[in-house]
Chains A and B, each alone.
Chain A
Amino acid sequence: MRRSTTESRALQVMLIGIALVFLAFFLLLPLIAVFGEALKAGIGPFLDAVSAPDALSAIKLTLLIAAISVPLNLVFGVVASWAITKFQFPGKSILISLIDLPFSVSPVVSGLMFVLLFGANGWFGPWLAEHDLKIIFAVPGIVLATVFITFPFVARELIPLMMEQGKDEEEAAISLGASGWQTFRHVTLPNIRWGLLYGVLLCNARAMGEFGAVSVVSGHIRGETNTMPLHVEILYNEYDFVGAFAVASLLAGLALVTLVAKTVLEWRFNLHGSASH
């Protein structure tokens, strides 16, 4: 409350009240329901469910997928936003739009796209079969789909930030004799680190939670190509509600951790005086 508003106190209370009720109903209640269902039968069944071999393999696969796709998109995001904000080149606006593509395409379409490319009857299918390479219905396909889906997160976070900061500092560094790498390390990176971490967090959350695209390319082989979100659906369909909600609560827990980390980062980000968007 930096300055007094013209609205009456009653209106303020009402608006805040509506927002809180809305939040409670649409966010808090489902979250409580997930944890409630997971622990309904006690801690024993919960632990059994999350330590079942299929659940463990789903957790492992999900972590592996995130461990591959997040670093890839981190590197890509930094490179892309660097190129876009520091250089002038033809086709720049097309590149910016292309980076946004995974946001605007339905995840199911993203998955099918890879089936069309790498499926047995797809463009590269016969060649892959000849060389005994498996992409679709195997881990590489899931990685591809996840990388595609999480493509924009880091770049989208960095581009506005780097645009705002301009290239004056980098130019100064270069004119003082710094190499490209030194400039990046000592000038650019410190400026973008919070935005970068924030992008990585969002990217990670989505990489672990992606369902649609992954479902299309997974093949659903138990203990092998089921990620956590897919495993939740399977357990639910098998009437194993405790198991489904137990694994779901792990995912929800991850979301909560991400949220807390994000809040902390945002706070520090603003503290450092960089304008947020």
Chain B
Amino acid sequence: MHKSRAVLALALGLAIALPGCSGGGEGKSGAVQITNVSYDPTRELYEAINPAFAAYWKKKTGKDVTFRMSHGGSGKQSRAIIDGLDADVATLALAYDIDAIADKAKLLPADWQTALPDNSSPYTSTIVFLVRKGNPKGIRDWADLVKPGVEVITPNPKTSGGARWNFLAAWAYGRKAGGSDQAAETYVRNLFTHVPVLDSGARGATTTFVERGIGDVLIAWENEALLAEKKLGAGKFQIVAPSISILAEPPVAVVAKNAAKHHTEEVSKAYLEYLYTPEAQVAIARNFYRPSDPKISAQFKSTFPDIPMVTIDKDFGGWRAAQKTFFDDGGVFDRISTKK
């Protein structure tokens, strides 16, 4: 059986030869490479930012820079960096996920969030409602979400960064309306009885609402809601801005130890600082994130309405505290989701 033998020989040859050429792959032609590990909805944003920064860096230093992008759920991405995914920069959904990298893997200093302006958040967003065209259930504010017969879509705060912002925004409303944490808990517990499915991530929840047509209102990142309203189902949805929401600050940070290992500290830092330039801020606004620069923000006034917002630091004592109180095992979310 000559054929069989040839197949075997080929197979053996492949098995021996291929692993040899699969490793490495870095540092071709002296170009610098930045690995940006980000969360799900920033794909379009960084697709716009990366070539612009590459041009800027080339002009400034004469050097080429290329990018490796990884997107996924924020908590999962944080875990992957801790497990060794060699990110030069982390651009995640909430500070807690970068805190975890600093705490557990010590890849960057604990005070990383002071390295850049605005809590290291070059763009922000907030939590809004997305409803079906014509707003058939008459949703105006948080109080309308707990009316009989209203179905609310929000992902699971245990796994989704976006869902944690949703939860805290709802809490802020409950506290304002009822005047106490007690009232807030009652409101949020009531709210979650209106949630038919808890998706594991923000994108999954949007797909549930938009594609599968489940639910009357989606509590979502403003950038996700705008994307759904303007791009996905143009004319099928509309955004409702609630009376109170939360300032969502997705932070960015250089993962110092990885960058040092790859000799990319300088370019990684410049990359994140570039996000604050007017040029990048316009790209940020065009991708439906709120720019941190007030001047650019003013230009996009019609896209981003004024919503009174609480902040994680002032109203919840920062992410470490909020995570512990609300979302860790035995926290408020566990309490309200078990006792009905």
Spell out A's residues near B (CB within 8 Å). 64, 67-68, 70-72, 74-75, 115, 118-122, 125, 129, 133-134, 136-140, 143, 185-186, 189-190, 193, 219-224, 234, 236-239
Contacts and interface: CB of A to CB of B under 8 A. Distances in A.
A110 B236 CA distance: 43
B338 interface: no
Contacts of B15: 68, 71-72, 75
Contacts of A136: 83-85
Given A67-B18, A137-B85, A140-B19, A237 B70 contact: no
Contact of A193 (B4, B14, B19, B68): B4
Given A120-B82, A134-B86, A237-B207, A71 B11 contact: yes
A118 B232 CA distance: 41
B1 A185 contact: yes
A72 B17 CA distance: 12
B68 A139 contact: no
Contact of A220 (B1, B10, B71, B86): B71
A133 B19 CA distance: 13
Given A68-B15, A120-B83, A237-B204, 20 more contacts: A64-B18, A64-B22, A68-B18, A68-B22, A71-B14, A138-B23, A140-B19, A140-B23, A143-B19, A185-B1, A186-B1, A190-B4, A219-B70, A219-B80, A220-B71, A220-B72, A222-B68, A222-B69, A222-B71, A239-B232
B86 A137 contact: yes
A140 B5 CA distance: 28
Contact of B23 (A72, A118, A139): A139
A193 B68 CA distance: 44
Given A64-B22, A115-B83, A137-B86, A185 B5 contact: yes
Nearest to A239: B232
Contact of B105 (A68, A72, A120, A186): A120
A190 B70 contact: no
A178 to B, nearest CB: 15
15 contacts: A68-B18, A75-B11, A119-B83, A121-B84, A122-B84, A136-B83, A137-B84, A137-B86, A139-B23, A140-B23, A143-B22, A220-B70, A222-B71, A224-B25, A239-B231
Contacts of B14: 67-68, 71
Given A237-B207, A238-B43, A71 B12 contact: yes
A236 B201 CA distance: 13
Looking at chain A's contact residues, the main secondary structure is helix
Contact of A119 (B8, B11, B43, B84): B84
Interface in B284-310: none
A118 B96 CA distance: 25
B19 A221 contact: no
B64 interface: no
A129 B262 CA distance: 12
Nearest to A71: B11
Nearest to A219: B85
Contacts of B273: none
Contacts of A129: 84
A237 B23 contact: no
Interface of B: 1, 4-5, 8, 10-12, 14-15, 18-19, 22-23, 25, 35, 40, 43, 68-72, 80, 82-86, 105, 203-204, 207, 231-232
B209 to A, nearest CB: 12
B80 A224 contact: no
B160 to A, nearest CB: 13
Given A134-B23, A140-B19, A234 B71 contact: yes
A131 B292 CA distance: 42
B68 A221 contact: yes
A238 B44 CA distance: 9
The 5 A-B pairs at the shortest CB distance, nearest first, are namely: A120-B84, A71-B11, A119-B83, A71-B15, A137-B85
Contacts of B85: 136-137, 219
A221 B5 contact: no
Chain B CB count within 10 A is highest, among A71, A125, A134, A238, for A71
A237 B105 CA distance: 29
A193 B1 contact: yes
A188 to B, nearest CB: 10
Contacts of A64: 18, 22
Contacts of A72: 15
A72 B19 CA distance: 11
A75 B83 CA distance: 32
A121 B40 contact: no
A221 B69 contact: yes
Contact of B11 (A70, A133, A239): A70
A113 to B, nearest CB: 13
B73 to A, nearest CB: 10
Contacts of A223: 68
A120 B43 CA distance: 26
A220 B105 CA distance: 20
A151 to B, nearest CB: 14
Contact of B70 (A71, A115, A222, A238): A222
Contacts of A118: 84
A125 B40 contact: no
A234 B12 CA distance: 34
A92 B5 CA distance: 28
Nearest to A139: B22
A126 to B, nearest CB: 10
A74 B148 CA distance: 61
Contacts of B232: 239
Contact of A189 (B4, B11, B35, B40): B4
Nearest to B202: A237
